[in-house]
Amino acid sequence: MDKTLDEARVAFITTAGVRLKTDPPFETKKGDPTFRIIPGDVDYGDLTVNHEHYDIRDALEDINLVFPLDILRQFAREGKIGEVAPHHFGLMGYIPQVKKLMNKTAPAIADQLQEDQVDIALLSPG
């Protein structure tokens, strides 16, 4: 990367099961290799978490614990990063279908990151 951090466009990817309330829930019993796009300007009231492989109670109270997009926004306002990317990604971390994850999900996310000209992608487990 030829940019400094204060010039970088930053995206966030989480496997904590974060999604828009209007998106279909993740399949938590069998695992789910799909992802949900979360707009960079999303209102946190429009987000939820569905995941059965960790205790989500605290995340439901404060999604910043697993998806700190508000902190990225603050860093952008303060000039610590260049800007928040237009799209971020929620996955459900229980994904036994590894081939689907590697062959379909990961390339689709990578394509969107490239299209959005993201310089840094931060990852958070669920």
Q: How far apart are CA 15 and CA 89, in angstroms?
A: 9
pLDDT at 6: 95
The answer to whether the Cα torsion of 105, 54, 23, 62 is positive or negative is negative
The answer to whether the Cα torsion of 27, 30, 35, 38 is positive or negative is positive
List, for residues 63-87, the tens digit of each pLDDT value.
999 999 999 999 999 999 999 999 9
Q: What number of H helices and E strands is found in the chain?
A: 4, 7
pLDDT at 93: 87
pLDDT at 94: 87
Write out the chain's pLDDT in tens, 126 residues.
Answer: 689 999 999 999 999 999 999 999 999 999 899 999 999 999 999 999 999 888 889 988 999 999 999 999 999 999 999 999 999 999 998 889 899 999 999 999 999 999 999 999 999 987
pLDDT at 1: 63
